[in-house]
Copies of this chain bind each other. A is one copy, B any other.
Amino acid sequence: MKNQKIRFGVIGVGRIGKIHTENLVNRITETEVVAVSDVISTEVAKVAKQFSIPNTFSDYNQILQHPDIDAIAICSPTPTHYVIILKAAAAGKDIFCEKPIDLSIEKIIKINEAVEKHGIKMMVGFNRRFDPNFFKVYEMVKAGKVGQPHVLRITSRDPAPPPEEYIRASGGLFLDMTIHDFDMARYLMNSEVIEVYARANVLVDPVFEKAGDWDTAIVMLTFENGAMGAIDNSRQAVYGYDQRVEVFGSEGMVTVKNDTPDSHIFLDKKGTHSALPLNFFMQRYTESYLNEMQAFVESIKSDTPPPATGKDGLAAVMIGLAAMKSVKENRAVRVGDSGIG
């Protein structure tokens, strides 16, 4: 294994599938992409041509059965994850799966059991852990620079609402968008979230109300170690993609700024002006997508646990479900006490 390339199959070549394919083909030297599959055959042909990939399938099963494929990247819609993972695990493929694994706690538990049983690796695509800014915060907290963490603040705002169709299939604000922040919370604080209180509202676009969803929220977190946190979300920051975290502790505080396309500062009669944050997750997290796939490849090559596991995928969904319940019942909800099964 150490001396030959890891051979990937990519399932689903939409926006995120293309990113992973390009990284696996061009940026990561230890991998190659043997096959891509997608239900939209024109798309799969286009991607295969662009990246000189030898095999294209419309049915992902052909990837799972392909003997020359070592690992797969699942980039298809969330409802397909469950079956694909169970089959891939049985077929002995290592699995990279986009978040969320699934919206049901029961199914995620079954997935995690299957992964363990078949002894394969599964990594969940919590790409923000691999963003250079957030990773720096993680490292500093872990190195004890802020002492004992006391307070976590996360601001996470999208540049614009997704289409209505996407909203309806998304699982809702907390499972689609905040889920990244829930993972970040556990990751940065190195402590489990035990209780959640959340308020949410429709302030941006009535389409969210129609879809039974919200567009603006604040979630308060209580951690096992006594620390507290607050996450604020909006589906529309007109100034761009706003992604910041701050950890405050007994010995100091660490925070990060948004990334911008350049660092110019312009002064004229009217004021001091500079660039807006990068507007879209694909620009903001270009490097994090590369880094996370590199980390997955490392975990395969060194046979070590991947840095974001099925347990992490489960925990984030559990917090998300607790947050939904909290809003609906306007009360604090213990994580785990949110209606499994």
Contact = CB atoms under 8 A, between A and B. Distances in A.
Given A151-B234, A203-B250, A197 B220 contact: yes
A135 B199 CA distance: 28
A229 B238 contact: no
Interface in A198-223: 199, 201, 203-204, 216-218, 220, 222
B216 A220 contact: no
Given A218-B151, A264-B137, A230 B228 contact: no
Interface string A257-292: 111111111111101111111000000000000000
A278 to B, nearest CB: 11
B248 A256 contact: no
A232 B140 contact: no
A103 B16 CA distance: 48
A263 B257 contact: yes
Given A253-B266, A268-B252, A331-B332, A132 B203 contact: no
A148 B203 contact: yes
A273 B147 CA distance: 16
A228 B250 contact: no
A252 B276 contact: no
B265 A276 contact: no
Given A197-B332, A271-B273, A252 B266 contact: yes
Interface string A233-246: 01011111010000
A239 B265 contact: no
Interface in A153-206: 153, 155, 157, 197, 199, 201, 203-204
A27 interface: yes
A203 to B, nearest CB: 5
A241 to B, nearest CB: 11
Interface string A44-66: 00000010000000000000000
A228 B201 contact: yes
A100 to B, nearest CB: 24
Interface in A114-139: 132-133, 135-137
Nearest to A332: B330
A305 interface: no
Interface string A313-339: 000000000000000001110000000
A289 to B, nearest CB: 15
Given A135-B262, A157-B248, A203-B227, 8 more contacts: A136-B275, A147-B238, A218-B220, A238-B268, A239-B272, A253-B266, A255-B265, A272-B275
24 contacts: A133-B262, A145-B266, A148-B203, A150-B216, A157-B248, A199-B222, A218-B229, A220-B230, A230-B230, A234-B248, A236-B250, A237-B248, A237-B267, A238-B268, A239-B252, A239-B272, A252-B267, A253-B266, A253-B267, A254-B265, A257-B263, A258-B263, A272-B275, A330-B332
